[in-house]
């Protein structure tokens, strides 16, 4: 048996758990948590905006909430663009 083959097999076995799905199911829960946080940020900003319209919130709080919402939306758009780009790259791969 060649030593390089044994080393390759050992390295593959060691790296296999890092490339597979999480055994405790945290992969899907993490994505669900991010979507939940995104929705919560949007709802909070909407509530602050409504309170500002009836003069119950100060302008500083309104600007801060709008900045958080803008950052969340920009992040979501960036992630979406990366996913679409990766999908298009996969489609370009030869079969």
54 DSSP 8-state letter? T
- 57 burial class (0-12, 13-18, 19+ CB within 10 angstroms)? middle
Per-residue pLDDT, 16:
59
Distance between CA atoms of residues 33 and 49, nearest Å = 24
pLDDT tens digit sequence for 8-35: 677 767 665 655 555 555 556 887 888 8
For 39, what's the count of Cα atoms within 13 Å in the CB-facing half-sphere?
A: 6
pLDDT tens digit sequence for 31-89: 788 889 999 999 999 999 999 999 888 889 999 999 999 999 999 999 999 999 999 99
The domain locations on the chain are 24-92
Per-residue pLDDT, 33:
87
30 DSSP 8-state letter? H
- pTM flag (> 0.95): no
25 DSSP 8-state letter? S
């Amino acid at each position: 048996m060649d030593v390089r083959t044994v080393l390759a097999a050992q390295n593959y076995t060691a790296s296999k758990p890092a490339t597979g799905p999480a055994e405790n199911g945290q992969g899907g829960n993490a994505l669900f948590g991010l979507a939940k946080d995104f929705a919560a940020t949007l709802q909070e900003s909407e509530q602050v905006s409504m309170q500002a319209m009836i003069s119950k919130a100060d302008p500083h709080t309104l600007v801060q909430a709008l900045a958080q919402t803008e950052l969340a939306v920009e992040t979501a758009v960036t992630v979406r663009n990366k996913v679409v780009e990766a999908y298009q790259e996969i489609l370009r791969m030869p079969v």
